[in-house]
A and B are shown apart, each in its own frame.
Chain A
């Protein structure tokens, strides 16, 4: 990356005896859309609030556009923020809400009015400027909150779970709208969410957080297909995690419940005989060797759930088992419980997770 626009350097945050963010580092390029993804309590909102200036880091630095803003107050940072609870001012109309930041910045009235009209058009609510927030739906309110945040032309836009209070349909359309507006304006954006689908669909890069640390930073493709830790693998998407024994680290040969398979992602430093966790996406596994893939494992059908268009099947080997989904075929009934089957998958789909396998 060229010079980062937003740089979070060795940031740590402690409250009383608890450290909620530990040595967090991240560089965000100008115009980039980065999502913080993680479960509740992982520290993602705390990092966002430190960037906003609502929390002061215990140690570390935050730079925006090359300037150290770590000790600046929120109203001195020129940052826009959208909150989960909308946070529109109930006493002001939509237009007055959008104009709030402009009025505070003492922008001349004519310019402010022009900017408000521009923002209302941008969020596709050009005729609702005179309405009060309580007269709008949740989705409309959040669009107004977005317009209010970007009206003063902030350097960075922060989105703190802005879609979680909305229903599923609005969520999908609004996230696409947010992404489009962000691309059009080219504004550097940090988005906090616990919804992996949201993060995967709109981000340039995702920071998966756990226990106050960044577990993995990467593009949605990398995060989904090449998770580096057990947590990322289990948190993003559905994964089968299996315990394996390294037979030959150099060739990537491992054994799962005594059956030999190859993992092309195996690093050379893996010691022969070591226990490792490996992961398989359900969509990468086929039943009875369909597709001519090289890795094959023999097992027994343990569970069959008929879900209509999809049949979810669990195959047990010995200690390990995998779940896989197959499309329903009216001409071929699903396998029966206890039936002997072979599952197959490509060596590159077998993800080798970092660290020793837990006992």
Chain B
């Protein structure tokens, strides 16, 4: 028993080192911009860079729209599948997993072919059209995470009985989703939203190939031309992702508790 625990700790330590050592090294390197002393100069340069502010702002707005699109598509779809079409669940789950299997570059080339300036739907002919396409592309990439988060949330409540209880009290579909279903899966939706946010902030392929000024291409550009700033940016990106994860954990404590039986 004791020997088993020892080896468990060894495995844990090796895993933690594999994860943390490069991170600590990156942090340490990012603070060596000023010769001889540790400083936050690289962070000051990055945060003061107008391109950082613009690209980060662009990605934040894109993330917000992606979350809205994702919620509007996934919540009613996952709800309806649980309520009326449970037989379709394996198929829908398979479809939502496809973005994990199909590389983003394939999706984006498909977009370029389908929505190029000579196509019947020339989204790529204008910047705003391309932004719309980018948001839908991001929503596709975030689909596995958003769908799973919402579906898990729906699993914790008795969707059918709650729906029927609301219906018999006179409620229509909009009221049922807005006042009964959504508040009870809100934490799950927020989890999906934060995961989506983290994905959009770091996404490179789509933004780069669609030539949008997002944070991902900015990170790549900095990495190719500077020394200390990319390390600082990597740490900032990590901090954003971890911040999102922490918010999910904190918010999950406020989830409506299911009734005692």
Contacts and interface: CB of A to CB of B under 8 A. Distances in A.
B165 interface: yes
Interface stretch (B51-59, B67-75, B128-136, B252-260): B252-260
Interface stretch (B1-9, B168-176, B224-232): B168-176
A83 B165 contact: yes
Contacts of B183: 91
Given A52-B168, A87-B164, A89-B166, 14 more contacts: A74-B167, A75-B169, A78-B170, A80-B168, A83-B164, A89-B165, A90-B184, A91-B184, A104-B175, A132-B256, A134-B259, A136-B259, A152-B169, A165-B261
5 contacts: A52-B164, A81-B165, A87-B165, A89-B166, A134-B257
Interface string B219-258: 0000000000000000000000000000000000000111
Given A133-B259, A134-B257, A85 B170 contact: no
Contacts of B184: 89-91
A227 interface: no
B221 to A, nearest CB: 46
Contacts of A137: 260
A297 interface: no
Nearest to A83: B161
Contacts of A74: 164, 167-168
A104 B164 contact: no
B159 to A, nearest CB: 11
B166 to A, nearest CB: 7
Contacts of A152: 169-170
B164 to A, nearest CB: 6
Interface string A58-90: 000000000000000111011111010111111
Contacts of A91: 180, 183-184, 256
A292 to B, nearest CB: 54
Given A100-B166, A101-B170, A132 B161 contact: no
Contacts of A277: none
B28 interface: no
Interface residues of A, number: 34
A138 B261 CA distance: 6
Given A87-B161, A165-B261, A148 B169 contact: yes
B168 A81 contact: yes
Interface of A: 52-54, 73-75, 77-81, 83, 85-91, 100-101, 104-105, 132-134, 136-138, 141, 148-149, 152, 165
A105 B167 CA distance: 12
Interface in B138-173: 157-158, 161-162, 164-172
Given A81-B165, A91-B183, A141 B172 contact: no
Interface of B: 157-158, 161-162, 164-172, 175, 179-180, 183-184, 256-261
Nearest to B175: A104
Nearest to B259: A133
Nearest to A86: B259
A101 B168 CA distance: 9
A109 to B, nearest CB: 16
A78 B161 CA distance: 18
Contacts of A87: 158, 161-162, 164-165
A134 B259 CA distance: 4
Contacts of B169: 75, 80, 100-101, 104, 148-149, 152
A86 B162 CA distance: 9
Contacts of A53: 167-168
Nearest to A165: B261
A81 B166 CA distance: 10
Contact of B158 (A85, A101, A104, A165): A85
A117 to B, nearest CB: 18
Contacts of A81: 164-165, 168
A89 B179 CA distance: 9
